[in-house]
Amino acid sequence: MKKIIKYSVLALFAFALTGCQLYKKYELPKDESPLVEEYAKALELQPDSTTLPYLGWKQIFQDTILQGYIETALANNKDLENARLNIDIANAQLKGAKLSYFPSVTFSPNGGSASYGGSHMNWSYTLPLAAAWEIDAFAKLLNKKRGAQVNVELMQDYEQAVHSQIVCGVASVYYSLVMLHQQLGLSKRTSEIWKEQVETMELLKNAGRTNEAAVVQSRANYYNIMSTIPTLENSINQLQNTLSLLLNVYPQEWAVTGDLTFTIPEEVVNGIPISYLATRPDVRALERSMAAAYYTTNSARTNFYPSIVISAQGGFTNLLGSIIKNPGDWFIQLAGSITAPIFSRGVNIATLEAAKAQQKLALHNFEYGVLTASADVSDALVAYNKGVEQNKYLQLQVDQLEKSVDYTNELFLYNQSTTYLEVLTARSSLLQAQLSCITNWHDRASALISLYQAVGGGR
């Protein structure tokens, strides 16, 4: 017996030595990927709370009308509420994992009676209270608890992603509405000018200064601009309904601002450090997935180690052995057990191999996610900067075309060998340039929204 105890203790000691890795907390696998190593180094930099990823959405979208819409969407959106409920579920699972360190206690009273050959019925009863406690000698419970903690963080990342999507989604629809209202206003103002142009051409025709062809052409030009107004109004109505859905209310008309300015953080012009990517919810979620896969692999390894359980049972009974004693008496039992896996038909081996493969898959997904995030940031940053550059030239173009319209119209009115076709061309070019300026404004606003979301903004 002494030899058996001695060898059992030595075996447990050997298992403990080989299982030290089971207790290690997850760390980024820097040695397995240069990209992960670069990402880990970037995380060591001290973050600046005034930079783009850490700014709240009210600091970016300062339009008070837009802020009211975003607040309504955040309060009413069911996806965000579901994300918060998922966090509650994950926290409940984490609580269960923590409580698994405590012993389980059960109370199962029982009683019975038996008669043989007409003998007297002797009633027996037992009122037992049983407790069992699993000693976490090989980090089985520890890895499950850490995995549950990672799951909570994953749900928090998901909630942040939904929050960011709502904020940026409302801002995107709102700025599209502003753009369409600007285009509609420009089209209506232009239609009034071209209506006056038709009247002017009719007067010039009566005065013998032009012909019917010019009058007809001016009317066609007027009708063309008028035809764009219903299209714009229909698009506005569709976006109004889209905004209503985002705000989770019945379709209605929504006011927009006439102010075309928006806040532009200065640091976006010079590029985005890789450390900013760590604030993106999807990148953080992929990092958490690697941690979850790590703890799943550790849990799979623990299947090869023995389980140690200490149990106790005590209570009150009148059944002592084969003797029924009245009144009863108290009893107590203590026991310990070690269950070591020997042969499980390859289940444990297959589980471990699958967990290792899942861990590599999580690493690959993380690498691709970081590259995708970098591409998103680069696309948004270049789009914004190029939009600013384009706007400078569009403004210059509008200034020159306004002069061209004035000069051409004066030359035509004073019969300086200028045809109405030249007047029409000048006015059409000015309208297109003005519409291009509005579109460029919207493109810059969209690029800023995309950039803000690409670096994990939306708080």
pLDDT in tens, 397-408: 999 999 988 888
**pLDDT in the model for residue 323:** 67
Cα 444 to the center of its chain, rounded Å: 23
Contact yes or no for 70/171 (Cβ under 8 A) = yes
What single-letter DSSP state applies at residue 100? T
Section 141-167 average pLDDT:
85
- Classified as helix, coil or strand, 332 is strand
pLDDT of residue 259: 75
Summarize pLDDT for 78-130 with one digit per residue, the tens: 887 887 788 888 888 878 877 777 778 888 888 777 666 666 667 777 878 88
pLDDT of residue 321: 64
Contact 154, 335 (CB under 8 A): no
**CA 111/CA 118 separation, integer angstroms:** 20
User: Mean pLDDT of all residues in the chain?
Assistant: 81
Pairing of strands 122-135, 307-320: antiparallel
pLDDT > 70: what percent of the chain? 86
Q: How would residue 61 be classed by pLDDT, with cut points 50, 70 and 90?
A: confident
CA 26, 28, 33 angle in degrees (round to 5)?
A: 140
Instruction: State yes or no: pLDDT of 178 exceeds 50.
Output: yes
Residue 322 — pLDDT band, cuts 50, 70, 90?
A: low
Confidence band (pLDDT; 50, 70, 90) for 238?
very high
Structure tokens at 201: 């051409």
Reported confidence tier of residue 4, pLDDT bands at 50, 70, 90: very low
Residue 42 is predicted with a pLDDT of: 74
* % of the chain with per-residue pLDDT over 90: 19
Residue 40 has pLDDT above 90, yes or no: no
Cα separations in angstroms, 172 against 177, 243, 384, 409: 9, 10, 15, 40
What is the average per-residue pLDDT within 228-245?
Answer: 94
143 with 22: CB under 8 angstroms?
Answer: yes
Q: What is the mean pLDDT of residues 358-380?
A: 89
Q: What is the pLDDT of residue 51?
A: 67
pLDDT of residue 49: 63
DSSP 47: P
- Is the pLDDT at 325 greater than 90, yes or no? no
pLDDT category of residue 173 using cuts at 50, 70 and 90: very high
State the pLDDT confidence band at 5, using cuts at 50, 70 and 90: very low
The pLDDT assigned to 1 comes to: 42
- pTM for the model stands at 0.78
Say which residue the tokens 């290690």 belong to: 24
Mean pLDDT of 70-80: 87
**Per-residue exposure over 259-282, b if at least 16 CB sit within 10 Å of its own CB, e if not:** eeebeebeebeeebbbbbbbbbbb
Residue 19 — very low, low, confident or very high, per pLDDT cuts 50/70/90? Answer: low
CA distance 221 to 409: 16
Q: Once rounded to an integer, what is the mean pLDDT over residues 345-361?
A: 88
The mean pLDDT value for 297-309 works out to: 83
Q: What is the pLDDT of residue 50?
A: 63
Q: Which two tokens stand for residue 181?
A: 């209202």
User: pLDDT tens-digit profile of 399-457?
Assistant: 999 998 888 888 877 765 677 778 888 888 899 999 999 999 999 999 888 888 888 77
Specify the pLDDT at position 47: 62
| Surface-to-core class of residue 308, CB atoms within 10 Å of its CB (0-12 exposed, 13-18 middle, 19+ buried) | middle
In the block, tokens 């063309």 appear at 224
Contact 306, 15 (CB under 8 A): yes
Please list, in sequence order, all residues whose beta carbon lies within 8 angstroms of the beta carbon of residue 16, skipping any fewer than 6 positions away.
137, 138
For residue 393, is pLDDT > 90?
yes
Compute the average pLDDT of residues 153-172: 87
